[in-house]
Structure 1
Amino acid sequence: MNKQKRQAIFERLQAANPNPTTELNYQTPFELLVAVILSAQATDKGVNKATDKLFPVANTPQKIHDLGLEGLKRYIKTIGLFNNKAKNIIETCRILMETHGGEVPQQRKALEALPGVGRKTANVVLNTAFGHPTMAVDTHIFRVSNRTRIAPGKTPLEVEKKLLRSTPEVFLQDAHHWLILHGRYTCVARKPRCGSCVIEDLCEYKEKTE
């Protein structure tokens, strides 16, 4: 895909949604970190239902740590893999308090050292909470990047590197939100909604639907 076409794609996505953001509910970097850890293999809607009850009660590393493992599980038991996620979050709270003064670090290495935080989660937090121009490649971005040919790659990391290299700088801050939302609502997995797609004529997918 050429540079001009990529530019046009992001221009249209921006025009359709000038201020994109995550669909997870959060007020602070720590709340976002917890929500993103919980969102692995779960829907944002399901996570929001749980955190809407959890955060008014406990929304700092100290308060969640004070809930204890069983106390935290009561709030997140509707979310898939909640046992493992609860362990990771409690341990993350301990590390944040002991190593980072109770604050969420802004360095990738420090974020990825937290239990339950991989590269994708770190990228979401760096981008959404701290305004870093990162690209959090989830299943939606991976699919959209390969299907449209905007940044084809065999692994999430390969797609991430291609997107960072080829996305016009002016769009980098918001690009991952546009691509996630596009994959979630238009360029869906089973049958993309090409007929209602704002970039249909620019997309290089060969098997377009009506």
Structure 2
Amino acid sequence: MNKDKRQRILEILRENNPHPETELNFSSPFELLVAVTLSAQATDVSVNKATDKLFPVANTPEAIYALGVDGLKTFIKTIGLYNNKAINVIKACGILVEKYQGQVPEDREALESLPGVGRKTANVVLNTAFGWPTIAIDTHIFRVANRTKFAMGKNVDQVEQKMLKVVPAEFMVDVHHWFILHGRYTCIARKPRCGSCLIEDLCEFKEKIYPED
């Protein structure tokens, strides 16, 4: 895909959604960190249902750490992999209290040192909580980037590096959300909704699918 096509795709996505936001519910960098950690292999809807009950009770590292693993499990047991996630969140809370005065560090290396936090989660927190021009490649972004030919790669690291290279600075903070939402609601995995796609004429996917198909 050429530079002009990419530019136009991003302009259209911006025109349609000038201020995109995550669909995870949060009101602080710490709440976002917990929500994103819980969202691995789970839907945002399922995470929100759990955190809507958890955060009114405990929404600081100190408060969640005080719940303990078993206490936290009672709030997140409807989420996949909740046992390991509870252990990681409690360990991360302990580190945040001990090393960072209960604050989420605005630092990639520090974030990635926390249990349960990898590059993708760190990218989401840096982007959404702190406004960094980072791009977290989840399954939706990976699919959209490859299917449209916007930024092709065999794995998430390749796609991330390609996106960082080809996305102009003016779009960098928001492109993460645009691609996630586009993949979640339009360019879906099994049967993309090409007939209702805003960027259909710019997309280079050869096997477009329409309702009559």
Say which SS state the counterpart of residue 205 (structure 1) adopts.
coil
1:168-193: CA deviations, max 9, x gaps?
Answer: 11000100100000000000000100
Return the letter of the residue paired with 2:14. Answer: Q
Percent identity over the alignment?
69
Distance, in Å, in 2 between the alignment partners of 1:189 and 1:49 is: 24
Quote the residue 1:180 is aligned against.
180
Say which SS state the counterpart of residue 63 (structure 2) adopts.
helix
Give, in angstroms, the shift of residue 118 of structure 1.
Answer: 0.5
Distance, in Å, in 2 between the alignment partners of 1:90 and 1:176 is: 28
1:82-116: CA deviations, max 9, x gaps?
Answer: 00000000000000011111100111110000000
Quote the residue 2:169 is aligned against.
169
Quote the residue 2:7 is aligned against.
7
What are the within-5 Å matches in structure 2 for residues 66-77 of structure 1? 66-77=66-77
Report the number of matched residues: 210
TM-score (norm 1): 0.99
What are the within-5 Å matches in structure 2 for residues 111-126 of structure 1? 111-126=111-126
Which consecutive residues of structure 1, in runs of 5 or more, have no partner in the other structure? Answer: none
Distance, in Å, in 1 between the alignment partners of 2:194 and 2:119 is: 31
Distance, in Å, in 2 between the alignment partners of 1:116 and 1:20 is: 26
Q: Point out 4+ residue stretches in structure 1 off by more than 4 angstroms.
A: none
Quote the residue 1:148 is aligned against.
148
Quote the residue 1:193 is aligned against.
193
The CA RMSD over aligned residues, in Å, is 0.4
Quote the residue 1:86 is aligned against.
86
Which consecutive residues of structure 2, in runs of 5 or more, have no partner in the other structure? Answer: none
